[in-house]
Amino acid sequence: MATSPNHRTPPAFDSPVPGLAARHVAREAVATLLGPSRGLALEDALAQAGRGARLEAGEAALARAIATASFRRLGFIRVALAARLRDGLPEDRPHLLALLVTGGAQILDLAVADHAAVDLSVRLAKADPQLQHLAPLVNAVLRRIARERDAIRAEENDPLAHNTPDWLARRWRAAYGEETARRIAAAHLEGAVVDLTVARDADIWAERLGALRLDLGSLRLVEVRDSVAELPGYGEGAWWVQDAAAALPVRLLAPAPGERIADLCAAPGGKTAQIAAAGATVTAVDRSGVRLERLGRNLERLGLSAEVVTADALGLPEDAPFDAVLLDAPCSATGTIRRHPDVAWTKSESDVMRLSGLQRRLLDKAARLTRPGGRLVYCTCSLEPEEGGGQVTHFLKRNPDFQRIAITPDQLAGHAELIDASGDLRTLPSHLAGGTGRAGGLDGFFASVLRRRD
C-alpha cells in the first residue's frame, strides 16, 4: 500500500446526503488523534473538524457518538480490521485508518444500519482525492465486518488484553492486581453515566429528574434523552454536571461559611461551585482564560460567586495564606477513560512522568499557600500511583510541617472500599454497587487530606 504524508489539508466537504457530514467530522477528528496530534483531546479535535461543516445539533451528537465509540473499542476494532486487511493496518495513512475505524465502530457498537455505515463510509472515500481509489477496499472490508459481526463480538472477551494499551495494562496490573485491572478495563467499555451535584433539596431534584440519589451525595441520571441544558433545573441553576467521584474531594475538604479557600487549577469549575455553595469565600485560579470564562458562566447560572484569577498557580503571592487549599492538579486523566476513551490512546507513559514533576511543584506551592492549622486537599483524576499516593508520600518527606489526615468510611457513607491503605481516597471505574453498568461506576480519582501543623 502506497504511503502518503500524515499532514494534509482536509478536503472541502459539503454534502446534502443525511448523516454524511457528521461522519466526515468524526473521521477527521479520529484521524487527527491517530496521526501526529495525539496530545489533542477528542472534544477539541471534533471542534476543529467541525468548523466548516455547520452541523445541526443532532448531526454534531452523531459525530461525537461515532468518534467516542471508535476510541472506546479501538483495540478490538483494530484487531478485527487487521485480520481482514491483506497488508495489515494502514498505520502510515491515518485518514484511511480512521475511515475504517469509524465505519467499524458504527457496525460493531452503535445502533446504525449496516448499509448506512458501509455506504456512507464509501462515499467519504470517494469524496477524498487521496482515498477515492481505495473506495472498493473500504467497501469490501466493512461489508465483511458487518457479515462477521457476531463472531467479532464473541472475541471481545478480554478488554484488558485486547482493548487496553500495553503500558496501561502493565501499570494497572502492578498497582491493583490482575482481577481489579480486568474490572477497570471492563468498566471502560460500559461508558459513563451523567452525575449531578445539587446545592440543596437533593430529594426534590432526584424526584423531578427521575434520578438515583447516590449515598455519596450526588444524583445519577439513569437516562438522558434530551440535552442536559433542557432538563428541569438547569436554567435556574439548581445543579451542575459533575461525576460523583469528582465531587468527593470538596466534601472531604469540608468548606465552612466564611473560610477563605483557594481552588487551584479550578476550571471548569465544579469544585469551585461546591466550595461557594458551602458559603466559603473562594479564589478560583487557572492558567486558561478561555476555561475560566466557562467557569464564570457556570457560576452566573448557579447564582454563585468567586474571585476568578487567570494566573499560573506557581506564581501566586504567598503573603496571605488561605484557611484551606484545594489542588486538583493537571494529570494524565487515566481515571476518566470510561468518559473520555481517547485518553487511553492519546496519552503515554512519558506524560505520567512529565506531569508528575509539575504536580510536585504545584503541591509544594499549595503548601505555602496554606496557613498554619489549615487544610490542603490534593487530588487527581488519574489511576497512576505516581500522580496520587506517590506524590503525597514524597510531599510529606519534604514538608514535615504537614500531616496526612486519614479518611474514614463515615465520610464516604460507609464505602470503606474507596479508601486505600494509607487512608487516602482511591476510587476506581469499577467501584459502586453493581460494579460496571449503568447503575454503577465512578471516575478514577485520588485525594489526600493534609493538615499544616499549628
Q: Give 10-residue mean pLDDT values along the chain (454 residues).
A: 43 71 96 84 92 85 96 96 93 95 96 94 95 96 96 92 96 98 94 92 94 93 81 95 97 98 96 98 96 95 97 96 98 96 95 96 98 98 98 98 98 96 97 59 96 95
**Among candidates 107, 108, 90, 87, which has minimal Cα distance to 98?**
90
The pLDDT of residue 18: 84
Separation of alpha carbons 426 and 335, rounded Å? 10
Residue type, 358: L
| Radius of gyration of the chain measured on its C-alpha atoms | 23
The pLDDT of residue 13: 58
CA angle 276, 278, 283 (to 5 degrees): 30
Helix ranges restricted to H, 4-73: 20-34, 42-49, 57-72
The pLDDT of residue 384: 98
The pLDDT of residue 328: 98
The pLDDT of residue 264: 98
Separation of alpha carbons 450 and 397, rounded Å? 13
Separation of alpha carbons 243 and 442, rounded Å? 7
The pLDDT of residue 65: 96
The pLDDT of residue 225: 67
Residues whose CB is less than 8 angstroms from the CB of residue 373 and which lie 6 or more positions away in sequence, other chains included:
451, 452, 453, 454
**Among candidates 429, 413, 265, 417, which has minimal Cα distance to 334?**
429
Residues whose CB is less than 8 angstroms from the CB of residue 7 and which lie 6 or more positions away in sequence, other chains included:
35, 36
Q: Tell me the pairing of strands 260-264 and 281-286.
A: parallel
At how many degrees (to 10) do helices 20-34 and 114-127 cross? 70
75, 36 in Cβ contact below 8 A?
no
Please pick, among 265, 331, 379, 381, the residue that the annotation labels catalytic.
381
Separation of alpha carbons 160 and 180, rounded Å? 10
Separation of alpha carbons 368 and 399, rounded Å? 10
> Is 379 an active-site residue?
no
452, 373 in Cβ contact below 8 A?
yes
